[in-house]
Amino acid sequence: MNKQQIKGVTNQVTGTIKKEVGRATGDHSTMAKGQAREIKGRVQEGVGNAREDLREDREIRRERSTRRGL
């Protein structure tokens, strides 16, 4: 797990809490801010997932090239 993934999950949780607080209090501004933060977190986590996938692919390629003696 990388920093982007952790930040993304954190933003999702924070956004969900904010959204629900806004819903409970009837504060549409807080609700909208929470929803925006939740979406930001999903995007951030997706970027982190993509980075992690690339890192894993690089490791696999390095291992293959090392085994082949390249």
Domain range for 37 is 3-68
Q: Which pLDDT does position 70 carry in this prediction?
A: 58
DSSP annotation string for 9-55: HHHHHHHHHHHHHHHHHT-HHHHHHHHHHHHHHHHHHHHHHHHHHHH
Spatial separation of the C-alpha atoms in residues 59 and 39, rounded to whole Å: 30
pLDDT for 65 beyond 70: yes
For residue 2, give the 3-state DSSP assignment: coil
For residue 61, give the 3-state DSSP assignment: helix
Write the pLDDT tens digit of every residue in 8-35.
999 999 999 999 999 999 999 999 999 9
46 within 8 A of 8, measured Cβ to Cβ: yes
Give the total number of structural domains in the chain: 1
